Amino acid sequence: MNDQSSIPNDLDSFWMPFTASRWFKDRPRMMTGAEGLYYTSMEGKKLIDGTGGLWCCNAGHNHPQIVAAIQKQAATLDFAHSFNQGHPIAFQAASRLVELAPGFEHVFLTNSGSESVDTALKIALAYHAARGEGQRRILVGRQKAYHGINFGGLSVGGLGLNKGQFGTLYPSVQHMRHTNLPQNAYTKGSPENGADLADDLAMICETQGAHTIAAVIVEPVSGAGGVFPPPVGYLQRLREICDANGILLIFDEVITGFGRMGTAFAYQHYGVKPDLFTVAKGMTNATVPMGGVFATSKVREAFLSGPANMPDLFHGYTYSGHPLASAACIATLDVYRDEGIFENVARMAPLFEGMLHSLKGIEKVVDIRNAGMIGAVQLAQDGPVGAAGRAAYERLWDKGLVVRPIGDSFALSPPLTIDAATIEKIGDLLRADLSA
């Protein structure tokens, strides 16, 4: 049992994000410690972290090398901003980041995935304006997509529940259809059907005028909307349409970045290079908030034609390139490299896939989807939408496994340090629960 310092003094002061607070207060679930692949609950129970934090603790929890780097930086330079001045470690972090992404020479640093998405969308709009094509104002998203919760990301996102409370968002938005087709149920990895859905972008070009479209943004693997891998050829077709019409292609790699597909980034796994891509989460192993937008030199150089004494981009954050986040980023990249964590995904992903698909045939399981070290199990609806997913989350917590409920699915995205024994243990817990 933890001491009194780990027990919250009340459950009212903190307005929790994305939480049904009255439901939470009926039975609070609290973590008070973490190490490696496990959380420790307030009651002292060990729980397998089946979600890698929130798709983000790629190197496991409390890695001593990352912790030490943050502590050292806090005692050296706790903060300096990056507006018309700088500090070396932010530049060092940026250099290390672009080394992982050949073809991308620049990264704009933010503090979260939501900020990264809004930054990428603003860069796309400003890019066209700088090139004399300011009429390109339309941003294209996709149904069931999640691109964070800032105004731009909500606008291009495709989850209606996330938008309903907020009225009009960015007005010039179009959406393509999602790629979750019934005929692709139980596909292992990328499904064969659905590449033609990319032609929705061509149709938008026809109906809106290609000369008015600034950018299209997609997750290489849709994550928080339910885990939908891209159909074979889908991303390639989007790239072709963008090239033919002068549209920027943005990949949202906040979830897929930093090894979750067995490569540094998903664009490398799928062999399709965007013009911009967003990152966060695994960038610092989630220890200090940090995000970024990678840009090609082609995009960056469009901003260098104005007066030398004026900002290239009228955008940024107080904490862009924060010293502690930069230190955490460098240490995290060292750990990924030195411990071969991306390579571990390549070894473990087939076992993870096999474990998930071994659940096929259980009565309440109606679909299974996976890509890299990401998976989702779709359950038969049982009552109101979302009730089955939430019930599974609660039961599995009690059994010692943390999953992420998404509607009537639950998602898994464990730390990338996972081993075969833990994958097998997760499978045993899932089978015992879902078969009951």
Amino acid 10: pLDDT: 86
Distance between CA atoms of residues 61 and 261, nearest Å = 20
CATH code, 134? 3.40.640.10
pLDDT tens by residue, 267-313: 999 999 999 999 999 999 999 999 999 999 999 999 999 899 999 99
- Shared domain for 52 and 75, answered yes or no, is no
Domain identity same for 45 and 107 = no
Q: Quick check: pTM over 0.95?
A: yes
pLDDT at 2 exceeding the cut of 60: no
Residue 217 pairs in a beta bridge with 250
Q: What's the pLDDT band for 7 if we cut at 50, 70, 90? A: low
Tell me 243's DSSP state. Answer: H
Res 5 pLDDT > 90: no
Find the domain containing 107 and state its range. 68-338
- Boundary residue ending a domain (294, 316, 338): 338
pLDDT digits (tens, 9 = 90+) for 146-172: 999 999 999 999 999 999 999 999 999
Domain count along the chain: 2
Q: What local confidence, expressed as pLDDT, does residue 3 receive?
A: 54
One domain, residues 203 and 225: yes
Q: Is 421 exposed, middle or buried (CB count within 10 Å of its CB: 0-12, 13-18, 19+)?
A: exposed
Average pLDDT, the chain: 96
> With pLDDT > 90 as the criterion, what percentage of the chain qualifies?
97
Q: Token digits for 41?
A: 């609950």
Contact 402, 37 (CB under 8 A): no
Q: What is the CATH number of the domain that holds 362?
A: 3.90.1150.10
Domain boundary among 323, 338, 353: 338
Instruction: Tell me the per-residue pLDDT of 314-340, one tens digit each, with 9 for 90 and over.
Output: 999 999 999 999 999 999 999 999 999
- pLDDT of residue 1 exceeding 60, the answer is no
Last residue of a domain, one of 304, 338, 372: 338
User: Are 284 and 382 members of one domain?
Assistant: no
pLDDT digits (tens, 9 = 90+) for 60-70: 999 999 999 99
Residue 164, CA distances (Å) to 167, 170, 177, 381, 406 in order:
7, 14, 19, 23, 18
Regarding whether 214 and 293 lie in a shared domain, the answer is yes
pLDDT at 4: 53
Q: Say yes or no: 33 and 115 in one domain.
A: no
